[in-house]
Amino acid sequence: MSCARLAVVVACSAVFSSATARAQSIADLTGLTALRARLGSTLAPTGAGVRVGQVEASAPGYLPDPSHPEFAGKAFNAFSGLSGASGHATAVGQYYYGSATGVAPGPVDVDCYEAGNWLSNGFINGSGPTPPLTALFKVLNNSWIGAGGSAANIQMRKLDFAIESQGLVVASGVNNGAGALDVPLLSHAFNGLAVGRSDGQHRAGPTLSGFDRPGRMKPEMVAPAGATSFATPLVAGGATLLVETARTWPSLSGNANAQRPEVIKAALMAGAEHRSGWSNGAPTSGPARGETTTPLDPLWGADELDVNHAHWILTGGEQPSAPSAAAALPVAHAGWERVLTSSNTSRYWRFEVERAKPFVSIVATWNRQTATNFGSFSRPEFDLELWSIDGSGALTSLIGDSGLAAFTGGNVRSASAVDNVEHLYITGLQPGAYVLELRRTSDALAAWNVAVAWELRCADPLAYGTGKLTSLGQEARLGFEGFASHEQDDFELRVTQAVPNVAGVAFWGLAQASAPFQGGVKWVASPTQRMGVVQTDASGAVSIAVPIDAGMVGQTRYYQFWFRDPSHPDGTTVGLTNGLSVSFCR
């Protein structure tokens, strides 16, 4: 069996400086900054209380450096015996649970393994019939690769068995460098998450022949780091945040389904940020428009980790499906369900879309199950499809020309014959009533759980116009935090670069304007409604909560902020921001 760290193209010393220099940009690119801004420091998850694991190839040591300042207060449990510190393991730990760099700085217990020992009696117990050991960790990171030889297939079956039976969440990297997948361990597992790089410099494509169900698409997603060794722990860290959320969020803490590995996987993938040009191969015209048998982009998978949107999906809560389209009730525009299915049946969710959606992202994923002697495995097949539904409850296909008026791009049917994931990514979904169908094909298998997660994203608010220069020479700016969603109800206007410690008031109307006003421009047409008086802080900033009620859904409002500027040279004593257009959704 050949084990190696994931190929790293920079020297170890460069890895350390990169980890420090890119800490803020990583938080921005992974959605962590937006998550913290939306929830605030007291509610934003850190991964606290979640025990994590880390497997490393010997270099020759396998342990992170416990004296590193980012690891203060953490306990490293050496499950593969005594070892010196590894620079690679230390850098992986920084991206995973480091206090400054990591996506999930909260965990304090880290279970550490050397890859060869982990594959043998340290956890997997080799390729024989002995089952894996019982893990203490909940989330596991694998920033190493291996060929594995004839034992690899059984070892990955045993890993998938542990994920399914113990409820583990496992992220494993693919190799660096462009080209096809080259080694199976551990990216070829079914029940984990295979991870690549946001710059695309990783191995990708169909899983190799000679291993279970060849041709499956890998990686499932990517993250913003300069090597897959460090992209992978960003995803593992994102999973750790979601596990903590599942355990502590008031509406989730009593629901064991919320921290199941397939639910965490579905939320991470559905919440991924899809880049321009992302495609899973659905034709853009003709009779097969909107249909694909390849659920993921061949290079990016579901694309880049976004913990803010994954968190929004998970906290949307478990939404009930129905056994028929007619019985399906409208569900939240962000949510999920772990649903039990039977052979040759379907489950349905209904969506009422009040305004055009810039995009819709839906993922279904399910685990394989293995025989107790690991000599075989089984899993059913599922398809995922979005339908239009009329007032009488009749379904209309959106495939081909019939979908031209309903959506501008992407796929409304995902029907892979080999993958254990299906993915719909739809752009420009128009207002109307829709039904999502999860369809299980005919088989002789028992009842099977599937996780389905979705986000029908609200349109982002749009800033327009410019703010008036203040007496301090800055342009006052009006932006936002949170989602303009009635279901989420966490939306705030965010004023920056106004005058410090002055009174101000936000106002809104139902149309834009561009009229001279108090030495600046009034960007909101009359009549307008004033909100409450607020005070800017010492930096000239203030956040203003905007409660969203049901009557605002489907409405667009135009906002601006007026504030005192006593020293303004134009003599008006008034400051004004730009305008902000906000379309409210469910």
State pLDDT tens for residues 145-183. Answer: 999 888 999 999 999 999 999 999 999 999 999 999 999
Distance in angstroms (rounded) separating the CA atoms of residues 341 and 352: 24
Amino acid, single-letter form, for residue 525: A
Q: Is the peptide bond before 287 cis (omega within 30 degrees of 0)?
A: no
Would the pLDDT of 3 be above 80? no
**What 3-state class would DSSP assign to 21?**
helix
309-456 is classed CATH 2.60.120.380: yes
Q: Are 160 and 199 in contact (CB under 8 A)?
A: no
**pLDDT at position 4:** 54
Question: How would residue 520 be classed by pLDDT, with cut points 50, 70 and 90?
Answer: very high
Distance in angstroms (rounded) separating the CA atoms of residues 57 and 88: 9
**What 3-state class would DSSP assign to 80?**
coil
Residues whose CB is less than 8 angstroms from the CB of residue 489 and which lie 6 or more positions away in sequence, other chains included = 547, 548
Arithmetic mean of pLDDT over the chain: 94
Distance in angstroms (rounded) separating the CA atoms of residues 343 and 293: 20
**pLDDT at position 540:** 97
**pLDDT at position 417:** 97
- Map out the domains of the chain as residue ranges: 3-248, 309-456, 462-583
Distance in angstroms (rounded) separating the CA atoms of residues 133 and 156: 14
Tens of pLDDT, residue by residue over 9-41, are 222 223 333 333 343 589 999 999 999 988 988
pTM of the complete model: 0.88
Distance in angstroms (rounded) separating the CA atoms of residues 12 and 99: 20
Tell which CATH architecture fits domain 462-583.
Sandwich (2.60)
Tens of pLDDT, residue by residue over 566-578, are 999 999 999 999 9
CB atoms within 10 A of CB 316: 23
**pLDDT at position 14:** 30
CB atoms within 10 A of CB 199: 11
Residues whose CB is less than 8 angstroms from the CB of residue 515 and which lie 6 or more positions away in sequence, other chains included = 521, 522
Report DSSP state, residue 26.
Answer: H
Residues linked to residue 54 through DSSP beta bridges, in sequence order: 112, 141
Report DSSP state, residue 332.
Answer: -
CATH of domain 3-248: 3.40.50.200
Tens of pLDDT, residue by residue over 178-214, are 999 999 999 999 999 999 999 999 999 999 999 999 9
Residue with tokens 């694309």: 303
